[in-house]
Structure 1
Amino acid sequence: TPLVCYGCFLTVCLSVCAPAARTRGVMKEFSDVYEQQYPVALFNSVRFEIEGGGGTQSQLLHRKDPLAGRSIFSGSLFQYLEENRKWRNRFVSVPNSYIISLYDSKAAHERGLHPKVSINCAGYKALTSMEEYMELINSSLPDTKGKAGSNPFIKCATQFPLILWHPYARHHYFCVMTEKEQKKWHAVLQDCIRHSNNGLPEDCTVQTPAFTDAVRLYRQAKGHYGTWDMMCGTPTQILANLVMETLDPELKNTIGPRLKGKIQQRQRNWMLISDAVYRQVLSQTSGQYQALVEACEAQRAPLDARLRTDMDQIITSKEHVSSKIRALVLPKAEQLLRNNVQPYINSILDALMEPTSRGFSEVRDVFFRELVEISKNSINGGGKEKLGDHMERLSMLAFHPVKMQSCYEKVEQLNLEGLQQRFSVSSTSVFVNRAQILMGEQMDNAVYTFEQILNQSLEAKGESDLCKTIQRCQDRVLKKYDYDSSTVRKKFFREALLQIIIPYMLQHLSPSCSPELPRFKELIFEDFSRFLLVENVFEEVVLQSVTKDIMMAVKEAAVQRRHNLYRDSIILSNSDPNLNLLGETSPVDWTTKFGGDEPEGSFCGGMAEGGSGKKRRQVVSMIQLDGVPLPYESCLEPLPPEPRSPDSVDEIRDLINPVVEVVLPVSKENQSDVANGMKPVTGTITMEDGVQEQITHVTTMVDDVPRKSPQDKMSPQTILQQLVGSKKQEAEKEHQEEAAIKNAIEEIEIAVQEDDRERIAEVAKSDLESSPPPAKDSSSHLNGEEKIIDPVDVEVILA
């Protein structure tokens, strides 16, 4: 309409039409590549099934479904609502799918209501500071870079923020009250991101390789070689990222200059636009990819039948074509390898091995320390119920983000330095994430193997000398872990080297070799042309040219003791046939086996998937109270009463200002002189550890339990004044406190009646035992033979 300016109209058209048109274009090109790669992936799958594949046999057992019936974490935190720009208390549940669900309250979660927000963390980053977040925001939109230290467009309610950042999707802002909460939540969020980024399911032996190869070949055709950070999440998310890779810069250049207002407002508006576009692209790629997969799967049966009939002829034809392409490619590949790759292989390998080996070593140490705790329990006379509790907690060690955090941090130090630019590696996050996933798998394999071996030993020998039995099983499992971790690391190093080197070689060989490839299509029979593509054969030839050097480099590294790798000549396959039989048995239910009840509060208050209504056991405990060791608390600790974030100023003040209860004597006759309520007081009090704390308020409560009163008494106001003093007397506080307490005790001793000595002393002892440490010094003289009078509970609020 004439009322709409041309610039706004153009912006709206771009925001609506450009994503749809770009998505259709990208999906059309991708679909063509996917349809070509699907028969090739099917051929490789059927060939592997027929010929079989050799591989090093694992020494540790593998658990099939370790997280069945469990959730990871739940708790309360503040969420920032962009609609009204306010912070709201939310109950957060993290099930075993690692999709974060936010509810209005815990009751809404327990009733099975739909969450307010569900967050799939694929592609996100978990941040713990506004400074780090603003660095990413300031570089996200051209021509809106803020000055250093510019104020963010949101004000965090506390000094402990938690931010989920995504290059395209909506950002999520949270905060908690304590640093310990922040560390635990950050570990949980990182674990959700780690598992969401963990690639596509490997059990899909046709769809997964067809999809990954199609994405790689599509990006290579656009000139993008090397690793890609946004190759994470579901196929739909990856395709949406593929569209946004080219669409996002265009929208920034077109829409960015038209955004008006202050820099914070322009940044906020751009994020809203980016999220809306991303959701639109995500919706479109979902439907189109589903239709593509269904079309290819419909052709699978006839393709599979033809493959099984003509497999020998297809393999012979492929070998013939490979020999011809090898004659063309190998001379160029060997020269490139000799001049530009071989000198850097050892440097790349060292950069990968150091942090990765430290991480796997930390996994071993964490596992060992947990077993030591179980052995200590058996030595100290812990019963079988205690053993059941310890083993139940140990079973979830690999999925405890906080306990595994020390292992994951070692790998995060991975740095390829200058090699990253030379080989076009966008970042090391791909390798870090993969190494962390492998570490978690190895930890769970070690735990599961220990469970099975210990269970077998207890059934054979009983529970006598439990400590020695645990130590024997521990030594047996650690030897197997050392071998398996060595095998897994060497495989990881080989794959990482290939991911770094192969794209570099393809990028340099393709310009000269690709124009020659079409002539090799004439060597392939038309009936086999769908299963044999010269582009794939070309990449296999390049892969074979560098494999020998990579294998040799890893083999030489295994000789060095500092990497804790076994030599390839050491083979332990089938070294423990009895253990292989245990792998077929079901997991041990330690709680049922030892007859213990489920620890109260060890369940997450949520509905199980599928609407079964069963509550899930929770892997990570709630936030612990101050003073409780955090790094090695149990994985399945009984949950304390649900910690609730404050909803009012008074509740926040109560969290910041601790309350100390002090019991002071007062007679029944003088209770009328003591008024219940809170009074502002200025003074200090000396805690048990000698630290002086400021007193801001005193709340007095009188116990109305009838008791015999002494003849001579002091008022609680007088005693309180003698205890805390006034602000003017702070310099002489310690001496005044001692004198006041001494005088008070002397007067109480004189007033005590002899005939009620024993009865009142028992009451005093029970009252004093329930009193907190700060009141210990002022009331400890009332134990034993002295008599006391009726107590008055006084709450002292510390600044």
Structure 2
Amino acid sequence: MGDVISTNLDEGKREMITARTSAVMAEFGRFYEQQYAVALFNSVRYEIEGGGNTQTQLLHRKDPLKNKSIFSGSLFQYLEESKKWRSRFLYVGDSYNISLFESKAAHDRGLHSKGVINCAGYRALTSMEEYLGLLNNSLSDTKAKAASAPFLKCPTQFPIILWHPYARHHYFCVMTEKEQKKWHAVFQDCVRHSNNGLSEECKVATPAFTDALRLYRQAKGHYGTWDMMCGNQAQILANLVMESLHPELKNLIVPRLKGKLQQRQRDWMLISDAVYRQVLSQTKTQHEALAQVCEVECPRLDSALRTDMDQIITSKEHVSGKIRALVLPRVEQLVRSKVQPYIHSILEALMEPTSRGFSEVRDILFRELVEVSKNTMNDSSKEKLVEHMDKISMLAFHPVKMQSCYEKMEALNLEGLQQRCDVSSPSVFIQRAQILMRQQMDNAVHTFEQLVRQSLDGHSGEDLCKTIQRCQDRVLKKYDYDSSTVRKKFFREALLQIIIPYMLKQLSPSCSPDLPKFKELIFEDFSRFILVENIFEELVLQSVSKDIMMTVKEAAVQRRHNLYRDSMVLTSSDPNLHLLGEDTIDWAGQFGGVKGEKQGGEVTNRKRKQIVSMIQLDGMPLPYESCLEVPGVDGIPEENEGQIEQDVETEKPVNPMQHVPIEKEPGSPDSIKEIRDLINPVLEVVEKDSSQLTNGTLPLEEGDEVKHITTITEMVPRESPNKVDGELDSLQIEQEEEQCTSPSAIESAIQQIEIAIQEDPSEHLSEGAIDSDGEFPQTSSNSSPLHHDDSGFQSPANENVEEVEAQPITGDEVVDTEQVMLTLVEGVKSSIDLDAKASCDASEEKSEVETTADGCLL
């Protein structure tokens, strides 16, 4: 490897690379110093004049990933040095950099990592075919055939490849598809976070850098978006240098490479990575020096601005009026003919996937909050609530849970605009929308946490459940408003990013030659803060901003994508809410009793909680397990199989509209227990399974025949509950005194028996008898465990029960069921003939009570 690099990158080529990088940085530095003064002027002017931003409803936290890590686990990595696959332990911290360790033990001992991967500019691939396509496109001179094999073979069917146009590629593989999906989601999140752009907190340095970069590329004839504006300033500048240097070096070096096609591809990647590392080191050093020079000069410029701000503003407005009179007719003509007809179609292409993505964010948020509410209904203790809140707090940074939201945005298609408006690729807009989805999810979860903590003290039981549901409804309303505001802002910015470069490209040839003459109208003392190029671009932006605003407003009025109208301005309904803290709530530490030892203000002896849970491969040997278990936030299911199963017998269903438990109507098998309790309130029946009766048999459907009537107090579960003609297991019967003294209950029971045997009593009696061996009769073929007869009398008869008058039931007594049934039938027929209001004499009533108590009651 070293010979290939040293041979093709000799001292002469390295000096050429250094000179080219210095030239690019010098030219960029001139743009940066100019734009730094302009950005400082705009910042100070905004500070003095003030400006109103939209009032957000959701709260924002500053450091959500404090004491958190994203993911860690073991997988296989291909090592370029040895050309072999080796097991490696990867750790993804809160910076989203991927650290590689020899083993998990090396990481736990705090040893130095074998390497760190910054994912800025990378793409995460999951197939060798896709990787080969990108590789062949980057090496057009050595384009491989469609059937040619890559220079490395993956030992499994589940590769994960990190591809970069200039830097070194990284190859990994796992054992299962489930692992591949999880690792791919994590790698994509690392790429997305690294490509997010520069920090918006730097009100001067960041606008100066982006404007200088744009003006530099426009001077080279490159308008439109740039998909390699990834990473920090040094990485972006390295990509800027490689944009022109890389093709030149490829033409010089690739024809001189020897060997087979796969070997030449491999050698060129190693050479390209060496060049990129050299350029990156140089851009980092020179950018730091450039930034330091501007920071040193910043106080003097700031003092001059605050002293002469009024004069500078007046001078700028005067020059703007002159330039507007010259270029405005051309700009308006271009807008009418080339821009306005396409704004609606561009906006529609942006709105469709973006709205689906934000809607998916809301659905996931709703499901997670409902899960917290349901769990609180089951167990309203503060400890359980803390456990659930601790899990949901990192929902926005869970790559696997958020993957479905991100995938909705992947459908963005700007194919027709890429040639017309010089849009390099839609990845810039896709990743920006995905970052906004994550921010909105985190803001909603954080607001929910603050509302719950605010209401946590002094509430318990049902009050706590109602409080959580109210917090849930309030957060969802706030999310609807904020997501609408964020989307409309994203649409406006995206339309400007697409349209403005196209307009500048069309207007620059005719307008740029006339701009230098306006510099004479600017005082020399103000020339650092007023640039005619910036004024020209501002005029172009203002000319099309009105049309863009109107188009977005029309889309909001149609309400096709759940956008609020601009007239619907919501004031802050929770003024006290914005006074709460912006830090992440440590639920386990503050409310769960888990405290770490503090030394010097830092929590020690406490490992970082991991957001994404681990994968455990059942039956897989330990050396081949990927994603080994490490201390972290576990219990967060990423897929449906990880959801907590709930007990059907004890938990009430929840109404999805009102999120309140639904009271079940009386029905089987609950109604059986209620009838039993009504007839004999002293007797307690222990049910082991709601789908079976207390004696282990399945209930009958409505209309099925009543086989037996018996009394059961308690029984041991049988070994074979589904056995039809088998022998009964031994029963354990407690000695309890049963007496039925309620005439209304007896009459109701007799009426139910009459209905059941109305068709053919003799047939029922013959079928319902149990032989002396204690076997069950043949059950009806129409009986179903899903449908029951609510009479409560369809249980099969028990053996070993004897008729004894008004005596406790013991296990040694046997009942003559056939005689009991004949007696019951005669009692039923005689009761039908009697008048409803007539009373029975004492001897008949006593006889009926004794018969029923010994033969029919449960």
When normalised by structure 1's length, the TM-score is 0.75
Q: Distance in 1 between matches of 2:60 and 2:582?
A: 11
Amino acid across the alignment from 1:157:
P
Q: 1:586 and 1:86, CA in 2 relative to 1: closer, same or farther beyond 3 A?
A: closer
C-alpha displacement at 1:470, in angstroms? 1.6
Q: Distance in 1 between matches of 2:528 and 2:605?
A: 49
- Equivalent residue runs for 1:132-281 within 5 Å: 132-281=130-279
Give the structure 1 partner of residue 634 of structure 2: 638
Regions of 4+ moved over 4 Å: 7-11, 596-599, 608-614, 624-627
Give the structure 2 partner of residue 761 of structure 1: none
Assess if the C-alpha contact under 8 Å between 2:64 and 2:583 holds in 1: no
1:164-213 CA-to-partner distances (Å, cap 9, x unmatched) read 00000000000111110000000000000000001001111111111111
The DSSP-based 3-state class of the residue aligned with 1:143 is helix
Amino acid across the alignment from 1:621:
S
Assess if the C-alpha contact under 8 Å between 2:69 and 2:608 holds in 1: yes
Q: Distance in 1 between matches of 2:594 and 2:454?
A: 22
| Residue 284 (structure 2) pairs with residue 286 (structure 1) | yes
Q: 1:10 and 1:396, CA in 2 relative to 1: closer, same or farther beyond 3 A?
A: closer
Give the structure 2 partner of residue 708 of structure 1: none
For structure 1, which segment, 461-470 or 326-335, has the greater mean C-alpha deviation from structure 2 after superposition?
A: 461-470
Q: 1:107 and 1:270, CA in 2 relative to 1: closer, same or farther beyond 3 A?
A: same
State which of 60, 72, 76 in structure 2 corresponds to 1:78.
76
The DSSP-based 3-state class of the residue aligned with 2:560 is helix
Give the structure 2 partner of residue 67 of structure 1: 65
Give the structure 2 partner of residue 786 of structure 1: none
1:607-643 CA-to-partner distances (Å, cap 9, x unmatched) read x99996642111111115579xxxxxxx964389xxx
1:242-281 CA-to-partner distances (Å, cap 9, x unmatched) read 0000001111111111111110000000000000000000
| Residue 612 (structure 2) pairs with residue 620 (structure 1) | yes
Amino acid across the alignment from 1:330:
L
Identity of aligned residues (%): 73
Q: Distance in 2 between matches of 1:573 and 1:311?
A: 33
Q: 1:373 and 1:8, CA in 2 relative to 1: closer, same or farther beyond 3 A?
A: closer
Give the structure 2 partner of residue 632 of structure 1: none
Q: Distance in 2 between matches of 1:29 and 1:626?
A: 59
The DSSP-based 3-state class of the residue aligned with 2:17 is helix
Q: Distance in 2 between matches of 1:281 and 1:609?
A: 41
Q: 1:388 and 1:320, CA in 2 relative to 1: closer, same or farther beyond 3 A?
A: same
1:739-773 CA-to-partner distances (Å, cap 9, x unmatched) read xxxxxxxxxxxxxxxxxxxxxxxxxxxxxxxxxxx
Assess if the C-alpha contact under 8 Å between 1:26 and 1:243 holds in 2: yes
Q: Distance in 2 between matches of 1:195 and 1:64?
A: 16
The DSSP-based 3-state class of the residue aligned with 1:139 is helix
Q: Distance in 2 between matches of 1:581 and 1:104?
A: 47
Amino acid across the alignment from 1:90:
R
C-alpha displacement at 1:8, in angstroms? 9.9
State which of 115, 121, 124 in structure 2 corresponds to 1:123.
121
The DSSP-based 3-state class of the residue aligned with 1:465 is helix
1:360-414 CA-to-partner distances (Å, cap 9, x unmatched) read 0000000010111112212223633221111001100000000000000001111
Q: Distance in 2 between matches of 1:138 and 1:272?
A: 15
Amino acid across the alignment from 1:32:
R
State which of 553, 562, 572 in structure 2 corresponds to 1:564.
562
Give the structure 1 partner of residue 572 of structure 2: 574
Amino acid across the alignment from 2:155:
A
Q: 1:610 and 1:430, CA in 2 relative to 1: closer, same or farther beyond 3 A?
A: farther
Structure with more strand by fraction: 1
C-alpha displacement at 1:146, in angstroms? 0.5
Q: 1:624 and 1:408, CA in 2 relative to 1: closer, same or farther beyond 3 A?
A: farther
The DSSP-based 3-state class of the residue aligned with 2:477 is helix
Q: Flag structure 2 segments of 5+ consecutive residues without an equivalent.
A: 620-630, 637-858
Amino acid across the alignment from 1:588:
I
Q: 1:8 and 1:492, CA in 2 relative to 1: closer, same or farther beyond 3 A?
A: closer
C-alpha displacement at 1:50, in angstroms? 1.0
| Residue 416 (structure 2) pairs with residue 424 (structure 1) | no
Assess if the C-alpha contact under 8 Å between 1:121 and 1:193 holds in 2: yes
| Residue 456 (structure 2) pairs with residue 458 (structure 1) | yes
| Residue 311 (structure 2) pairs with residue 299 (structure 1) | no
Q: Distance in 2 between matches of 1:610 and 1:142?
A: 54
| Residue 512 (structure 2) pairs with residue 520 (structure 1) | no
Q: Distance in 2 between matches of 1:192 and 1:586?
A: 23
Amino acid across the alignment from 1:484:
D
Amino acid across the alignment from 1:638:
D
The count of residues paired between Structure 1 and Structure 2 equals 620
Q: 1:522 and 1:611, CA in 2 relative to 1: closer, same or farther beyond 3 A?
A: farther
The DSSP-based 3-state class of the residue aligned with 1:340 is helix
State which of 569, 586, 589 in structure 2 corresponds to 1:589.
586
Q: Distance in 1 between matches of 2:635 and 2:106?
A: 19
Q: Distance in 2 between matches of 1:564 and 1:538?
A: 36
Assess if the C-alpha contact under 8 Å between 1:363 and 1:407 holds in 2: yes
Give the structure 2 partner of residue 483 of structure 1: 481
Assess if the C-alpha contact under 8 Å between 1:61 and 1:448 holds in 2: yes
Q: 1:20 and 1:392, CA in 2 relative to 1: closer, same or farther beyond 3 A?
A: same
1:222-256 CA-to-partner distances (Å, cap 9, x unmatched) read 00000001111010000000000000111111111
Amino acid across the alignment from 2:561:
H
Q: 1:389 and 1:213, CA in 2 relative to 1: closer, same or farther beyond 3 A?
A: same
Q: 1:251 and 1:24, CA in 2 relative to 1: closer, same or farther beyond 3 A?
A: same
| Residue 449 (structure 2) pairs with residue 474 (structure 1) | no
Q: Distance in 2 between matches of 1:9 and 1:74?
A: 39
Q: Distance in 2 between matches of 1:98 and 1:62?
A: 20
C-alpha displacement at 1:585, in angstroms? 6.5
Amino acid across the alignment from 1:595:
G
Amino acid across the alignment from 2:611:
V
Structure with more helix by fraction: 1
Amino acid across the alignment from 2:426:
T
Give the structure 1 partner of residue 502 of structure 2: 504
Q: 1:613 and 1:201, CA in 2 relative to 1: closer, same or farther beyond 3 A?
A: farther
When normalised by structure 2's length, the TM-score is 0.70
Amino acid across the alignment from 2:235:
Q
Give the structure 2 partner of residue 58 of structure 1: 56
| Residue 97 (structure 2) pairs with residue 99 (structure 1) | yes
Aligned-residue CA RMSD (Å)? 2.3
The DSSP-based 3-state class of the residue aligned with 1:418 is helix
Give the structure 2 partner of residue 700 of structure 1: none
C-alpha displacement at 1:64, in angstroms? 1.5
- Equivalent residue runs for 1:393-408 within 5 Å: 393-408=391-406
Assess if the C-alpha contact under 8 Å between 1:392 and 1:636 holds in 2: no
The DSSP-based 3-state class of the residue aligned with 1:89 is strand
Give the structure 2 partner of residue 767 of structure 1: none
Q: Distance in 1 between matches of 2:10 and 2:582?
A: 61
Assess if the C-alpha contact under 8 Å between 1:127 and 1:163 holds in 2: yes
- Equivalent residue runs for 1:639-654 within 5 Å: none
Assess if the C-alpha contact under 8 Å between 1:40 and 1:532 holds in 2: yes
Q: Distance in 2 between matches of 1:611 and 1:111?
A: 18
Amino acid across the alignment from 2:294:
C
Q: Distance in 1 between matches of 2:249 and 2:634?
A: 51
Assess if the C-alpha contact under 8 Å between 1:622 and 1:639 holds in 2: no
Amino acid across the alignment from 1:315:
I
Q: Distance in 2 between matches of 1:13 and 1:267?
A: 23
Q: Distance in 2 between matches of 1:139 and 1:610?
A: 50
State which of 325, 330, 347 in structure 2 corresponds to 1:332.
330
C-alpha displacement at 1:92, in angstroms? 0.6
The DSSP-based 3-state class of the residue aligned with 1:426 is coil
Q: 1:344 and 1:598, CA in 2 relative to 1: closer, same or farther beyond 3 A?
A: farther
Q: 1:99 and 1:586, CA in 2 relative to 1: closer, same or farther beyond 3 A?
A: closer
- Equivalent residue runs for 1:351-430 within 5 Å: 351-381=349-379, 383-430=381-428
1:257-310 CA-to-partner distances (Å, cap 9, x unmatched) read 111111000000000000000000001111111111111111111100000000
Give the structure 1 partner of residue 726 of structure 2: none
Assess if the C-alpha contact under 8 Å between 1:388 and 1:596 holds in 2: no
1:90-110 CA-to-partner distances (Å, cap 9, x unmatched) read 111001000110000112112
Q: Distance in 2 between matches of 1:331 and 1:80?
A: 60
Q: Which has the higher contact order (CA 8 A, sep 6+)?
A: 1
Q: Distance in 1 between matches of 2:601 and 2:254?
A: 43
Q: Distance in 2 between matches of 1:313 and 1:548?
A: 28
